[in-house]
Amino acid sequence: MYQLRGSLDVKVGLAHKRSDFIVEQARVWIFTTRCLLELLTDTTIKGFAYRPSLIVFRDLEILNGTYEIALSYLLLALQSHPVRLVGLASSLNDIDALSQWLNVSEDGQFMLSPAERDQAIATTSQTFTIPYSAALMRAMAKPLYDRIQATPIHENVLVFVPSTSQCNAIISDLLTQCALAMNMRGFIGEAVSQDALGLYTNQFRNRGMVDGITKGLAMWHDRMDPNDKLLALRLFMEGVVRVLIVPREVCWNIPVRAGLVIVMGTQYTTGTPSATTDPLRTSERRVVEYSLHELVRMQGRAVRYGKTGHFHIMCQSEHRDSYMRFLTGGLPLESQLIGEEDNEESPISQAIRDWVERQIKTGNLKSKQDLLDFLTSTFLAYRLEKNPTYYDLEDDRANFLSRLVDSLWTASD
């Protein structure tokens, strides 16, 4: 097995020196999409390429710009070399679009909707009309406590909050609710005594976590002391503490599941406060909605083999219907090469702009026709005709792609 992650610069050098060994001995390659794209387009490592008989693509529902470029380039490169392709994705509401782009026949398509899981999961919601603010989080505290309190004592609860900085605040709010309800035991595991719990609390280096731990409340995030982080996870997995508070971003790598997963709000702020003294411009922060992919990942933490799970989302009332529709019916999938929401100056994604600029400099793209040929093989080209309204297609696909080529080529000059 050989694994490539992050930047390819150093790792390709090491691999190239041992290329004979790798080509002969490596049976499994693991690539990030960025490394795969660099490898496919790097003309200095011709002897490094290893022709596989099977390629597995994971997380196709997260087909961002880099992923789409890498997959398009790979499909072109493998036209003369038969390869078995296996794609894995969360439930999509239209699997035909992806399958036809990848030239997968109908008998090679297998799709299960979220409602067809072998492991039963209930998805519910609770709505709020308060805009995203500290007031909203305070308003959610009592419903959060009630939902946790109603959970069977043998079940654990995983709570996603918008940011790392809010983990402590939510634990404080839950401690307050425990005091108001005269809940002296809090959310400690059923078979755990206070004496046994004291043996664990003495091991925490961050003494600020002790109050929460004594009531069965822990947090887990990347800024924690490694020892405290490992210990909090262990206590949760063993059922010593029943509630684990985590920030939104750990949905991609948190290694535990729970009988009840709660999403406490579906918005977060990005950016930093402005240093300007202009009273009309007091902040550079803006409110961002959770992506559907993040919510699906969070929902997946409630899927447990052989057991029933419960996923509860607390969100703004205007977003409830769309969230529930996609969480129960499958995710939409469109190209992200254009229509980048974070870029107000250009609808063209940064991923394709950076890639085209690199390919022109290295000589892989020698003319506009080369670029047009490549774009014709992308998921974008396929979806333009299938969903023209989404891409603001006013005429035909050929003219749209030609204008896109002109824009990309001009920007790279």
Question: For 95-150, what is each residue's pLDDT tens digit?
Answer: 888 888 888 888 888 877 776 766 788 999 999 999 999 899 999 999 999 999 99
Block residue for tokens 């026949």: 105
Q: How far apart (Å, rounded) are the C-alpha atoms in residues 322 and 112?
A: 20
Residue 316: the pLDDT is: 92
- The per-residue pLDDT for range 63-79, each reduced to its tens digit, is 989 899 988 988 887 77
Residue 139: the pLDDT is: 95
Residue 138: the pLDDT is: 93
Q: How many CB atoms lie within 10 A of CB 234?
A: 13
Which domains, ranges and CATH numbers included, belong to the chain? 2-112 (3.40.50.300), 115-329 (3.40.50.300), 350-412 (1.10.10.10)
User: What percentage of the chain has pLDDT greater than the value 90?
Assistant: 49
- Bigger pLDDT: 15 vs 295: 295
Window from 179-183, 283-287, 288-292, 347-351 with minimum mean pLDDT: 283-287
CA nearest 310: which of 245, 263, 241, 244?
A: 263
Are 162 and 247 within 8 A, CB to CB?
yes
Window from 188-202, 266-280, 315-329 with minimum mean pLDDT: 266-280
Q: How far apart (Å, rounded) are the C-alpha atoms in residues 178 and 173?
A: 9
Overall pTM surpassing 0.85 (yes/no): no
CA dihedral 89, 94, 96, 99 (to 10 degrees): -20
Residue 403: the pLDDT is: 92
Q: How confident is the model at residue 163 (pLDDT cuts 50, 70, 90)?
A: very high
What H or E segment, with its residue span, contains residue 353?
helix 350-362
Residue 367 has pLDDT above 50, yes or no: yes
Strands (E), 266-377: 267-270, 286-289, 309-316
Q: What is the largest CA-CA distance in the chain?
A: 74
Q: What is the mean pLDDT of residues 81-99?
A: 83
Residue 241: the pLDDT is: 95
Q: How far apart (Å, rounded) are the C-alpha atoms in residues 267 and 286?
A: 10
- The per-residue pLDDT for range 396-407, each reduced to its tens digit, is 899 999 999 999
